[in-house]
Amino acid sequence: MNRLERIVLILGLMTLPLVMDSCTTLAERGTQPEGSPPVITASSASKEVSHGDAWKIYLEANDPDGDMWKFTYTLSDMGVKGGHRVNYVPIREGNRARLLGYLSVSFSAPNNALAEWASSTLTLRIQDRSGNRSDKVAFPVALTRGVKQAAPSPPFDIGDLKELGKIWVQLYEPRGD
C-alpha cells in the first residue's frame, strides 16, 4: 500500500463515525421532523407501456415549507435486481415548493421472453429535507409489446410538462426461488 492509499484509508476511517451518525433515522434519534410533509395532490401513469418507450409517471405535489428533497421509490416483481430496495431521484431546486411534471422511467432490453411481458408496481413518495414524507402512491405497469400509453388525465393534459427526473430499470430473468 503506497502513501496516498494509506492517507485515503485513514481519512475514510476518521470520517466513518460521521457518516454512520448521519445515517440514523429520526426515530432512532428520538426527534420528530419539523414543518409540514410534502403532499402529492395528483398522480397518473399508464398501466401498460411498450418495451422501448419511456413510461411517464405524472405528478403534482406541493410542500408549504418549500423543502421537497427527493422522490423515493421501490419496484416490486418483474425480476428487477434489488427490486425491493429503496432508490431515489433528487428534486431540482426550482421544484421544491411546487412541482408539476413527470418522471421518465426507462426499462432495459429484456434478456428473455418472460421479461418482455413482465409486470411490476412502482411505489413512490416524496421526502423533504426535514425528514417528512408524503403518502405513498403506487403505479402498476405491464410491459406489453405494441401498446400505446394512455393520454395523461387532468391536470396533466395541458401540453408541455417538464421532466422531473429519470428512473432506469434493469430487467433480469426472474428466478424461481
Eight-class DSSP state of 74: E
Specify if 21 maps to a domain: no
CATH assignment of the domain containing 100: 2.60.40.10
- Per-residue pLDDT tens over the stretch 54-95: 999 999 999 999 999 999 999 886 655 555 578 999 999 999
Q: Cα–Cα distance between 68 and 101 in angstroms, integer?
A: 15
pTM recorded for the entire structure: 0.75
Amino acid at 77: D
- Per-residue pLDDT tens over the stretch 94-118: 999 999 999 999 887 666 555 556 7
Task: Tell me what pLDDT residue 79 has.
Answer: 53
Specify if 76 maps to a domain: yes
Mean pLDDT lowest for which of 14-18, 110-114, 169-173?
Answer: 14-18
| Three cell numbers, residue 33 | 421532523
Specify if 13 maps to a domain: no
14: Cα separation from own chain's centroid: 32
- Per-residue pLDDT tens over the stretch 132-170: 999 999 999 988 888 888 888 888 988 889 999 999 887
Specify if 176 maps to a domain: no
Specify if 156 maps to a domain: yes
Burial class (CB in 10 A: 0-12, 13-18, 19+), 36: middle
Q: Which domain holds residue 133?
A: 34-169
Specify if 114 maps to a domain: yes
**60 Cβ contact partners less than 8 Å away, ≥ 6 residues apart:** 40, 41, 42, 43, 99, 100, 155, 156
Specify if 6 maps to a domain: no
Specify if 11 maps to a domain: no
Counting the structural domains of the chain, the total is 1
Q: Cα–Cα distance between 46 and 140 in angstroms, integer?
A: 8
